[in-house]
Structure 1
C-alpha cells in the first residue's frame, strides 16, 4: 500500500492575475466609447491630411457656403465656407493643429512640474518653500490672461502658445506631486531605500513616482481639456493660431458671422471641441480607477452595480 501526499492544486494556489486593461475598458461602455472617439481624433489628425491633400486650403468661389450634402464627394460632406473650402478637410487639418498644441503643452508641464514637485516634497524645508512660492506667483495670474498678455507682446505662433500654456500649467502638477512626495517620503519602503544608501533621485524614480503616477495622469488628462479649450479661446480672440494655419477655435471665430446663413462653419468645430473634451474627461475618470490597485476592483463589476457597491462599501466602512 503506497501512501499518497495531498498536493495543493497549482492552478488554485496561483494568484489570480488582474484583468488586462483592454478587458476592463471593454466592460465600461462609456469609457470605451470615449477611448474610441479620442483614438479617431488622433488617427484623423495623423493620416487625414495625407488623404485629403490640399482640400483644406483649395478655394472655389463657385462653391461658396454650400450646405452639407452627398452630392459633391467626400470633401463636400460637411459643406463649404465663404471661400468655398471644404469644412471637412479644414476640420481634419485643424485637429492636427489643436493636438500639436495641447499634447506638447501637457507633456512639458507634466514632466517639469512633476519632477520639481516630487523633488521639493521629498527634501522639504527651504527647497519646498521656494518651489511653492514660485508656484503661487504663477497661479496668481489667470493662465488665459497671462497667455493673452504674452501673445499680444510676442508674435502668436504654435511654439509660443505651447510655451506659455505649459508654463501656466506647471504649478498644477508641482503642487500635486509635492503633496504626494511629502506624504510618501515617511513610508517604510522609502526609509528602507535611504537606509541602504539610495540617493534622492533614484528613490523618487523607483519608489515615489510609480505611486504618484495615477494621480498625475488623471490630472494630465483633465488638463488636456483645459489646454485645448484655452487654445481654442485664444484662436477665437484672434491671438492664437493665425491663418493660413487653422484650428477648431479659429474655425469657430471665422464662422460666427455666418451662424444664421451657414451654421455648419462654426457649429461643427464647436461639436468637435465638445466631443473631444468630454471624451477626455470620461477617460480620465476611468484611468484613475484602472491605475489605482485599491479601486480597480470597481471596474470588474457590472456598470449597474458599481454605484450600489460603492454606497454599501461606504456605509460598512
Structure 2
C-alpha cells in the first residue's frame, strides 16, 4: 500500500497491505509480553467472574478440614489447601483478586484522569497556572504516599472507599508532572500554533492535538503505577489498616497466614505469589506498551528476538 498526495492509502498491485504492523502482531512476536498479557487477563477474568462461580466458599468454615495441605484428594476447592478455619485458600484467592483490583484500578484511573487533565491544562497555559499546579504537586509529594495513607486511615475508618480516595490523591502528582512536562514541550510545535491561529479554544486544542501525543506515555506510567498501588494496598492490609475482615485481599491473606508459615506455609505464600506474578506481568507489559506506542522505538519489536538487545557495533575493525 502506498500513500497518495491527498493522504489516502491504496493497495499495492499484489493486493498486500503495507504500513505499520498491528499491535497484536507486535505482541505475538514477544513471547514474554504474551505471557504477561495472559497472566493479567486471567487475573482480570478471575476478579470479574470468580465470585459468581465460588458462591460463599470463601467464607464457609469447616473446622474438621483445618490446615489441610494442597492436595487433589479433597476436590477442586481443596487444591491449594485450607486455612486455620477450614476455608478454601483457592476460593479466598479468587475472592481476594476482585477486592484487590477494586482498590487498585479505581485509584489508578482517578489519579490518571485528574492528574493528566490538570497537568495538560497547566502545561499548555504556563505562567501562574503552571506554577500553582506544580506547587500543589510538590506539597503532596513531600509526604510519602504510604505514610500519608497510614495516617489518614488510622484517623478515619479503614474502608475500600477511603483507601481508593487516599491512594488516588497520593498518586495524582505523578501524572500531573508527566502531563505538564509533555504539554509544555508540545505547545510550541507548529500544529499547535496553527490551531491557535485559527481560533481553536484551549480545551479543544488540548483534547485534539496534545492528548493523543501524551496519552501513550500516561498509559505506560499508569500501568507501572498500578503495580505500586496494588503493593501499597497489600502493605496497608498487612499492617491491619487496609481491607478489613470479613472482606479479603491478597495482602490481608498474607497477614493472616504469617503466623502459620512453619506449619501451613500455603496460607501466606500463595497470595504472595499472586501479588508478585501480577505486578511483574504488569511491569513487563508496560515496558512492551512503551515501545509499541512510540513510533520512534516500535521498530525494535519487529526485529528478530535475538537481535533486540544486541548493541549496534560501528567503527573500524568490527565485524
Measured after TM superposition, the shift of residue 11 of structure 1 is 3.2
Measured after TM superposition, the shift of residue 247 of structure 1 is 0.1
Which residue of the partner structure matches residue 3 of structure 1?
A: none
Which stretch of the first structure deviates more once superposed, 219-228 or 46-55? 46-55
Inter-partner Cα distance in structure 1 for 2:242 and 2:149? 9
Which residue of the partner structure matches residue 104 of structure 1?
A: 106
Which residue of the partner structure matches residue 43 of structure 1?
A: 45
Contact 2:11–2:17 (8 Å) recurs in 1: no
Q: 2:87 aligns with which of 75, 78, 85?
A: 85
Poorly superposed stretches of 4+, deviation over 4 Å: 12-15
1:312 aligned counterpart, secondary structure: coil
The answer to whether the aligner puts 1:238 opposite 2:266 as a matched pair is no
Gaps of 5+ in 1: 1-7
Inter-partner Cα distance in structure 2 for 1:9 and 1:123? 43
Inter-partner Cα distance in structure 1 for 2:13 and 2:271? 54
Contact 2:107–2:165 (8 Å) recurs in 1: yes
Change (3 A) 1:314 1:168: farther
With the length of structure 1 as denominator, give the TM-score of the two structures: 0.94
Which residue of the partner structure matches residue 312 of structure 1?
A: 312
Measured after TM superposition, the shift of residue 17 of structure 1 is 2.3
Measured after TM superposition, the shift of residue 9 of structure 1 is 8.7
With the length of structure 2 as denominator, give the TM-score of the two structures: 0.93
Inter-partner Cα distance in structure 1 for 2:289 and 2:272? 26
Inter-partner Cα distance in structure 2 for 1:303 and 1:219? 25
Which residue of the partner structure matches residue 187 of structure 1?
A: 189
Inter-partner Cα distance in structure 2 for 1:93 and 1:208? 40
Measured after TM superposition, the shift of residue 10 of structure 1 is 3.9
Which residue of the partner structure matches residue 135 of structure 2?
A: 133
Which residue of the partner structure matches residue 4 of structure 1?
A: none
Which residue of the partner structure matches residue 78 of structure 2?
A: 76
Which residue of the partner structure matches residue 160 of structure 1?
A: 162
Gaps of 5+ in 2: 1-9
Measured after TM superposition, the shift of residue 131 of structure 1 is 0.1
Which residue of the partner structure matches residue 59 of structure 1?
A: 61
Which stretch of the first structure deviates more once superposed, 173-182 or 295-304? 295-304
Measured after TM superposition, the shift of residue 12 of structure 1 is 7.1
Inter-partner Cα distance in structure 1 for 2:220 and 2:11? 40
Which of the pair is proportionally richer in helix? Answer: 1
Cα RMSD for the two superposed structures: 1.6
Inter-partner Cα distance in structure 2 for 1:178 and 1:63? 56
Which residue of the partner structure matches residue 214 of structure 2?
A: 212
Inter-partner Cα distance in structure 2 for 1:110 and 1:196? 30
Inter-partner Cα distance in structure 1 for 2:189 and 2:41? 38
Aligned residues: 306
